[in-house]
């Protein structure tokens, strides 16, 4: 049985063409599956009965299966999704006054081993399929409730989920093809009809894939910076050893040629005594002179045996104030869902360290701050 969630529009039309069906049939089915969240082929009333009968024999709509549903006191909701063979990923919905954001995972685990991230501690299991990625959005829409008028032309504007961020488990650009298929569905007017400005991919800095994303499916870009110099970033974000800051910043500038926003968001997790000193502040200001950007400061969310402490609130406020005074738009991410381990860096936090990495087998952090 072919899972139709695995296809973006082009793939679905090709699959239908192989069966002698015209492209408009693929568009009809795509609308039923993604806009209306339908799984019953018999309910697709504008599709020919003969085609519905064929689909029942050859196809299915199978998203990941939620096996745990946790709701924070602040309204943040986290699902643990079963993706088979003992693997599970986490998806987080963050409600706000004027928008609802879904944080989507792209891999089961992560191979990049960023020092401060609990997801990396579970090691890397596998890439998610396109169906497992878009399926998180599909299932979240159903569980959060129907749109006000699912059949209306403006239905996408009525959805509870208005924004998607690829900031869950995994490095999205290390699973490029499947992520881009899912992105195309998010943007497709016959599916979720989202604006490119409301879909964000976050990367640790895989430079060749950033260039591919710019060319094939440019959406809003966030970069997990976390350190303003190579020596420190080598320790906190090991992919920097392959694509150092000079190459990363140049790729950001290239990306902006086709991006839906005129800036890159640099994510910067605040670690006490590690990357929150005045020297780091000066280096961040210098980076902003090279790349049109905004900074998103992220208070560190502790997890067992991390080896890090969160920067004190006054330190974070001072960082934000001085960056703003330097003319750089800077925000501080509000910690959401930490009581259900749904905050930034906490996904899959209650796992054993499978990376065999400890702070004792790296260069001591305090030796590389400069």
Q: Tell me whether residue 22 is exposed, middle or buried, using C-beta atoms within 10 angstroms of its C-beta: 0 to 12, 13 to 18, 19 or more.
A: exposed
Q: How many CA atoms lie within 13 A of 216 on its CB side?
A: 16
Report the alpha-carbon distance of residue 23 to residue 100 in Å, rounded: 33
Report the alpha-carbon distance of residue 342 to residue 337 in Å, rounded: 5
Would you list the DSSP string of 159-225? -S--EEEE-SSS-GGGGHHHHHHHHHHHH-TTTT---GGGEEEEES--HHHHHHHHHH---EEEEE-
Reduced to 3 states (helix: H, G, I; strand: E, B; else coil), residue 104 is: coil
Report the alpha-carbon distance of residue 126 to residue 10 in Å, rounded: 25
Q: Please, are residues 219 and 196 in contact by the beta-carbon 8 Å criterion?
A: yes
Q: Is 90 among the catalytic positions?
A: yes
Bridge-partner residues for 93, per DSSP? 77, 102
Report the alpha-carbon distance of residue 130 to residue 133 in Å, rounded: 5
Reduced to 3 states (helix: H, G, I; strand: E, B; else coil), residue 102 is: strand
Q: Give exposure, 37-47, as e/b (b: 16+ Cβ within 10 Å).
A: bbeebeebeeb
Give the position of tokens 């990363």: 248
Classify the phi-psi angles of 330: left when phi > 0, otherwise alpha if psi is within -120 to 50, otherwise beta: beta
Report the alpha-carbon distance of residue 161 to residue 157 in Å, rounded: 9
Q: Which helix (H) or strand (E) holds 265?
A: strand 264-270
Report the alpha-carbon distance of residue 331 to residue 323 in Å, rounded: 10
Q: Please, are residues 203 and 173 in contact by the beta-carbon 8 Å criterion?
A: yes
Spot the catalytic one: 103, 110, 117, 344: 344
Residues classed as catalytic: 90, 344
């Amino acid at each position: 049985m072919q899972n139709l969630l695995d296809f973006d529009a082009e793939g679905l039309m090709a699959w239908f063409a192989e069966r002698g069906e015209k492209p408009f049939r693929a568009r009809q089915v795509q609308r039923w599956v993604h806009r209306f969240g339908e799984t019953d082929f018999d309910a697709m009333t504008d599709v020919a009965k003969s085609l519905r009968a064929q689909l029942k024999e050859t196809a299915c709509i199978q998203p990941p299966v939620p096996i745990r549903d946790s709701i924070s006191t602040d309204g943040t909701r986290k699902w643990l999704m079963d993706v088979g063979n003992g693997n599970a990923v986490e998806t987080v919905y963050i409600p706000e006054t004027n928008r609802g954001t879904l944080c989507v995972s792209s891999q089961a685990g992560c191979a990049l081993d960023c020092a401060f991230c609990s997801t990396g501690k579970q090691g890397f299991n596998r890439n998610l399929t396109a169906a497992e990625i878009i399926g998180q959005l599909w299932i979240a829409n159903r569980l959060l409730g129907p749109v006000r008028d699912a059949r209306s032309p403006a239905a996408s504007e009525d959805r509870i989920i208005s924004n998607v961020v690829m900031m869950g488990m995994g490095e999205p650009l290390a699973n490029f093809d499947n992520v881009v298929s899912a992105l195309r569905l998010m943007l497709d007017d016959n599916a979720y009809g989202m604006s490119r400005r409301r879909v964000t991919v976050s990367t640790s800095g895989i430079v060749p894939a950033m260039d591919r994303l710019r060319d094939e499916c440019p959406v809003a870009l966030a970069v997990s910076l976390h350190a303003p110099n190579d020596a420190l970033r080598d320790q906190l974000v090991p992919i920097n050893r392959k694509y150092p800051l000079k190459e990363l910043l140049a790729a950001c500038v290239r990306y902006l040629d086709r991006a839906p926003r005129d800036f890159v968001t640099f994510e910067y997790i605040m670690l006490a005594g590690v990357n929150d000193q005045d020297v780091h502040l000066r280096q961040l200001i210098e980076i902003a002179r090279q790349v049109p950007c905004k900074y998103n400061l992220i208070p560190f969310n502790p997890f067992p045996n991390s080896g890090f402490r969160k920067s004190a609130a006054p330190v974070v406020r001072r960082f934000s104030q001085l960056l703003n005074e330097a003319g750089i738009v800077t925000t501080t991410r509000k910690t959401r869902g930490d009581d259900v381990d749904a905050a930034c860096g906490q996904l899959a936090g209650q796992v054993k360290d499978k990376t065999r990495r400890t702070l004792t087998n790296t260069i001591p952090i305090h030796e590389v701050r400069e």
